[in-house]
Amino acid sequence: MKPSCVEYLICIGCGKGALALAVEQEESGEVLEGALTCSCGTSYPIIGGVPRMLSRKLLDEMLAEYGKAAPKGRLTDPDDVQAVQGATMDAFGFEWRHYADYDAHNYENWMPEGFDPNTGFRGKLGLEVGCGAGRHAERTAGSARTHFAVDLSYAVDAAFQRTRHLPNCHVIQADAFNLPFENCRFDYVYCLGVLQHMHDPPEGFRHLARQVRRDGILLVNVYQASRPFTTGLLEALRKITTRMPPRALNACCYLAGTMDYLICATWRGAEALGLSRLIGPFVPGRVKEYAKHTYRTVVTDWYDRLACPVKIHYQREDLVGWYEQAGYKNIRVTPYWKAFWNGFGEKA
């Protein structure tokens, strides 16, 4: 954690800023171990270079993961929400620590048409919610003034390692429903491939929408409800896979990914032989899409779709409605292939 990030953070319990920083271990200006403490008595540990700004029960769960004891605090969550969020922390924590080098090279593809992420974030203060292993954060921090990358899960360990060389990039473990920032703080907020994994996505969207300053922008990307047959089959399979231990599921994903990759490689071979016009009409779009990706991406995406506790698909109108209800203008929602809706809006 770079000490310069403290000026932006507030206590998620009482909403006050001016958190006191206690440093236990520092390396090249980066606080690796320590704590942030609020005058209300709530303390947030810094572990492995990342402030852990979670509510009481999630914090206890997180501390057990790192073999540490709980500090003082007074924040609580209703149990059912906590169960979903705990499972989300575990599933994505395993995924992004195991596949920390993931990059499907779809940064531009996940932005709505007409928005160029290479120039759109330049010189701005921004927040990314659900940063995973930090692949987008790494790109955005290259042009933004200051970029905060937040994730609920232990993915933050991978994101921190990936971005720690960037002086303007700050990684925080926090929940979209309990963000440690004042409202209307950011020039941009984005949340890519995340809302569909939350226990209450529309409410999650409202929390993001509050973080944007007037005339600032909010970019989100969610799964499309465009392929009911495939989604239905997958949901049936997920009833088993979401209950499997991570290592066993991961082994299955290597198997599924290998078969999938071989099919994609066959299509690539056919293209190279000039047969694409002949057999192209019989090849599913999904195969053509995944043929652009690496073996590791194909395997990671199998883990991603089979492990996450929650996976919800949306219509374009859902996303437009969320922006409208949050008081956004110049709303654009455009598709990326048949898989995603990419949304854009400016805060009125």
Ligand X SMILES: C[S@@+](CC[C@H](N)C(=O)[O-])C[C@H]1O[C@@H](n2cnc3c(N)ncnc32)[C@H](O)[C@@H]1O
Q: Which residues bind ligand X (CB under 6 A)?
A: 88, 92, 96, 129-132, 135-136, 150-153, 155, 175-177, 192-194, 197-198, 304
* Distance of closest approach, residue 342 Cβ to ligand X, in angstroms: 12
* Distance of closest approach, residue 245 Cβ to ligand X, in angstroms: 18
d(CA 84, CA 216): 31
Q: Report yes or no: 180 and 166 within 8 Å, Cβ to Cβ.
A: no
DSSP secondary structure string for all residues of 52-94: EE--HHHHHHHHHHTT----S------HHHHHHHHHHHHHHHH
* Distance of closest approach, residue 338 Cβ to ligand X, in angstroms: 18
What are the structure tokens assigned to 165, written together?
A: 């060389």
- As a whole number of angstroms, the longest Cα–Cα distance in the chain is 70
* Distance of closest approach, residue 190 Cβ to ligand X, in angstroms: 9
Q: How many other C-beta atoms are found inside a 10 Å radius of the C-beta of residue 280?
A: 12
Q: Report yes or no: 345 and 328 within 8 Å, Cβ to Cβ.
A: yes
Name which of 194 and 291 has its Cβ closer to ligand X. Answer: 194
Name which of 171 and 176 has its Cβ closer to ligand X. Answer: 176
* Distance of closest approach, residue 19 Cβ to ligand X, in angstroms: 20
* Distance of closest approach, residue 192 Cβ to ligand X, in angstroms: 5
* Closest listed residue to residue 297, CA positions, set 253, 242, 233: 253
Name which of 38 and 208 has its Cβ closer to ligand X. Answer: 208
Name which of 187 and 301 has its Cβ closer to ligand X. Answer: 301
* Distance of closest approach, residue 88 Cβ to ligand X, in angstroms: 5
d(CA 256, CA 87): 23
Name which of 96 and 186 has its Cβ closer to ligand X. Answer: 96
Q: Report yes or no: 150 and 128 within 8 Å, Cβ to Cβ.
A: yes
Residue nearest ligand X, Cβ-based: 132
Collect all residues with Cβ–Cβ distance below 8 Å to 255 and sequence separation of at least 6.
none
Helix, strand, coil % over all residues of the chain, rounded to 5: 40, 25, 35
Name which of 154 and 328 has its Cβ closer to ligand X. Answer: 154
Q: How far is CA 285 from CA 141, 221, 227, 290, 292, in A?
A: 33, 20, 12, 9, 12
Name which of 53 and 267 has its Cβ closer to ligand X. Answer: 53
